[in-house]
């Protein structure tokens, strides 16, 4: 339709313009029973119509959250499904649930690789996600955030872990920590068995340098199986 | 015949007054603040410069912050902002962008300055008339007897010829 193309070409330019469209007359000429369906104009059987509003310069940007803000962080990486539930409470407030805290998590894929490593290179406009297995959620009234991901792999020198960074709503850091996984026969870690890498050369929690200052509070409870997927639950107290 | 690509460096800081620029400023600052605290933890560093100079892998910050602006770049629908042709329209199409952190600080928002570099699709540079370049999008092939639709573009601040290829 001619009018649509005309408006579309106006949107590309930054030149402000007021537009007086008398489209209804044209439509009436084309077909006696047709009505224009665009905003700002009405047409009646007689062909009288309203002036379309002045068009200010476009495009009209809308608030767009960072690509990290998502609950499903799988991003096409293959692995056993892992639901991650983190509850955050406030150690400065009798451990009451902490609402509106921002929780960032990130972890490696089944092969032990992280996204966003070596960042700063050219970014293609097809917006390929190079930030797999990274996500951000805001705690609800119960202090809870939930992510859908895959069970992490492992890499040399580290036990399997998930990075967590908790911020207040203003973006100020409250806690940087890591989640550790239970070890031993029958645990999820044992069932996953390092994916195709196996567990040869694996560093257990007790030998992990990062966990050498103690990790009792960082061990999550992990349930599930390979067929149905796993679920991880952990509560964290942070000073807010 | 010369095939060029152009680049436009759009600088955004706290003085931004257009809505798109303001969104990008706010969101990129919040993301910088959050990501930078991963690097500054345990140190007294708060500025981007200090982190770059002193914290290993500090240069990763640019890549970590890019997802905060990707959504806004997408809203441009592939057309470079600000740069008008001689008819007064935006027309340059880009297919790549790169975020650049010029400066920032975890505590001082007024120090936050970024640039988004837009890289255009290839253009044929036909002629130069005064300070205006006569260009057209290069569609991959070109027959000299074809009639093609061209634009007049004035070389302006922050607009650069990024690459050139002589094709005979």
Whether the CB of A199 is below 8 Å from some CB of chain B: the reply is no
Q: Is the pLDDT of residue B100 over 60?
A: yes
- Ramachandran category for residue B78: left, alpha or beta (phi over 0 → left; psi -120 to 50 → alpha): left
Q: Is the pLDDT of residue A228 over 60?
A: yes
Mean pLDDT of B14-30: 97
Neighbour count for residue A87 (Cβ, 10 Å): 17
ipTM of the complex: 0.90
Task: Give dist(CA A23, CA A42) in Å, integer.
Answer: 10
Whether the CB of B121 is below 8 Å from some CB of chain A: the reply is no
Q: Is the pLDDT of residue B24 over 60?
A: yes
pLDDT band at B147 (very low <50, low <70, confident <90, very high): confident
pLDDT at A51: 61
Q: What percent of chain B shows pLDDT beyond 90?
A: 89
Task: Give dist(CA A185, CA A179) in Å, integer.
Answer: 19
Give the model confidence (pLDDT) of B49-75 as tens digits: 999 999 988 988 998 999 999 999 999
Identify the weakest region by mean pLDDT among A67-81, A118-132, B18-32, B114-128. Answer: A118-132
Task: Give dist(CA A27, CA A45) in Å, integer.
Answer: 10
Task: Give dist(CA A226, CA A211) in Å, integer.
Answer: 27
DSSP class of residue B77? T
DSSP β-ladder status, A173-180 and B2-12: unpaired
DSSP β-ladder status, B113-120 and B132-137: unpaired
Q: Where are the domains of chain B?
A: 2-166
Provide the shortest C-alpha distance from residue A210 to chain B (in Å).
Answer: 15
pLDDT band at B145 (very low <50, low <70, confident <90, very high): confident
pLDDT band at A234 (very low <50, low <70, confident <90, very high): very high
Q: Which of residues 23-52 of B touch A (CB under 8 A)?
A: 23, 27, 30-31, 33-34, 37-38, 41
Provide the shortest C-alpha distance from residue B121 to chain A (in Å).
Answer: 11
Task: Give dist(CA A163, CA A68) in Å, integer.
Answer: 14
pLDDT band at A18 (very low <50, low <70, confident <90, very high): very low
Chain B contact set for A165 (CB, 8 A):
34, 37-38
Q: Which residue did the predictor score with more confidence, A19 or A65?
A: A65
pLDDT band at A59 (very low <50, low <70, confident <90, very high): low
Give the model confidence (pLDDT) of A69-116 as tens digits: 999 999 999 999 999 999 999 999 999 999 999 999 999 999 988 888
Q: Do B94 and A120 touch (CB under 8 A)?
A: no
Q: Which residue did the predictor score with more confidence, A16 or A57?
A: A57
- What 3-state class would DSSP assign to B63? helix
Task: Give dist(CA B94, CA B120) in Å, integer.
Answer: 4
pLDDT at A130: 75
Residue B153, phi then psi, degrees to nearest 5? -130, 130
Mean pLDDT of A44-52: 60
pTM here is 0.81
Neighbour count for residue A156 (Cβ, 10 Å): 8
pLDDT band at A60 (very low <50, low <70, confident <90, very high): confident
pLDDT at A120: 35
pLDDT at A181: 98
pLDDT band at A50 (very low <50, low <70, confident <90, very high): low
Provide the shortest C-alpha distance from residue B73 to chain A (in Å).
Answer: 9
pLDDT at A57: 55
- Please give the helix or strand (H or E) that residue B6 lies within, else none: strand B2-12
Q: What percent of chain A shows pLDDT beyond 90?
A: 65
SS (H, E, C) chain A: CHHHHHHHHHHHECCCECCCCCHHHHHHHHCCCCCCCCCCCCCCCCCCCCCCCCECCCCCCCCCCCCCECCECCCCCCCCEEEEEEEEEECCCCCEECCCCEEEEECCCCCCCCCCCCCCCCEECCCCCCCCCEEEEECCCCCEEEEEEECCCCCCCCCCEEEEEEECCCCCEEEEEEEECCCCCCCHHHHHCCHHHCCCCCCCHHHCHHHHHCCHHHECEEEEECCCEEEEEEEEEECC
Chain A contact set for B104 (CB, 8 A):
none
Mean pLDDT across chain A, nearest whole number? 80
Give the model confidence (pLDDT) of B117-137 as tens digits: 999 999 999 999 999 999 999
Q: Is the pLDDT of residue B27 over 70?
A: yes
Give the model confidence (pLDDT) of A145-198 as tens digits: 999 999 999 988 999 999 999 999 999 999 999 999 999 999 999 999 999 999
Q: How far apart are the first and last CA of chain B?
A: 6
Nearest chain B residue to A166 by CA distance is B34
């Amino acid at each position: 339709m001619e009018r649509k193309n005309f408006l579309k070409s106006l949107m590309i330019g930054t030149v402000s313009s007021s537009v007086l469209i008398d489209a209804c007359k044209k439509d009436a000429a084309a077909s006696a029973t047709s009505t224009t369906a665009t905003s700002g104009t009405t047409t009646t059987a007689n062909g009288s119509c309203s002036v379309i509003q002045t068009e200010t310069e476009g495009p009209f940007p809308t608030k767009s959250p960072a690509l990290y803000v998502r609950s499903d962080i799988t991003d096409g990486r293959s692995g056993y499904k892992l639901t991650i539930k983190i509850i955050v409470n406030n150690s400065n407030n009798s451990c009451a649930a902490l609402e509106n805290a921002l929780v960032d998590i990130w972890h490696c894929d089944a092969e032990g690789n992280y996204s966003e490593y070596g960042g700063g290179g050219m970014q293609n406009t097809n917006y390929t996600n190079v930030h797999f297995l990274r996500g951000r959620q805001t705690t609800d009234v119960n202090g809870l955030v939930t992510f859908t991901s895959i069970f992490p792999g492992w890499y040399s020198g580290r036990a399997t872990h998930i990075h967590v960074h908790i911020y207040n709503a203003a973006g100020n850091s409250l806690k940087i920590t890591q989640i550790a996984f239970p070890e031993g026969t029958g645990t999820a870690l044992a069932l996953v068995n390092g994916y195709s890498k196996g567990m040869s050369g694996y560093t257990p929690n007790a030998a992990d340098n990062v966990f050498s200052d103690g990790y009792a509070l960082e061990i999550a409870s992990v349930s599930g199986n390979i067929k149905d997927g796993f679920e991880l639950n952990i509560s964290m107290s942070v000073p807010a | 015949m010369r095939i060029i690509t152009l680049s436009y460096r759009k600088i955004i800081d706290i003085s931004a007054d257009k809505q798109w620029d303001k969104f990008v400023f706010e969101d990129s600052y919040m993301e910088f603040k959050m990501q930078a605290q991963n690097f500054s933890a345990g140190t007294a560093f708060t500025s981007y410069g200090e982190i770059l100079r002193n914290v290993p892998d500090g240069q990763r910050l640019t890549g970590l912050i890019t997802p905060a602006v990707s959504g806004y770049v997408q809203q441009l629908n592939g057309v470079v902002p600000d740069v008008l042709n001689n008819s007064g329209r935006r027309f340059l199409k880009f297919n790549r962008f790169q975020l650049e952190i010029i400066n920032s600080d975890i505590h001082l928002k007024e120090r936050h300055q970024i640039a988004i570099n837009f890289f255009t699709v290839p253009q044929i540079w036909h002629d130069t008339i005064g300070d205006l370049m006569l260009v057209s999008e290069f569609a991959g092939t070109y027959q000299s007897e074809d009639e093609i639709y061209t634009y007049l573009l004035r070389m302006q601040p922050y607009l650069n010829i990024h690459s050139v290829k002589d094709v005979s």
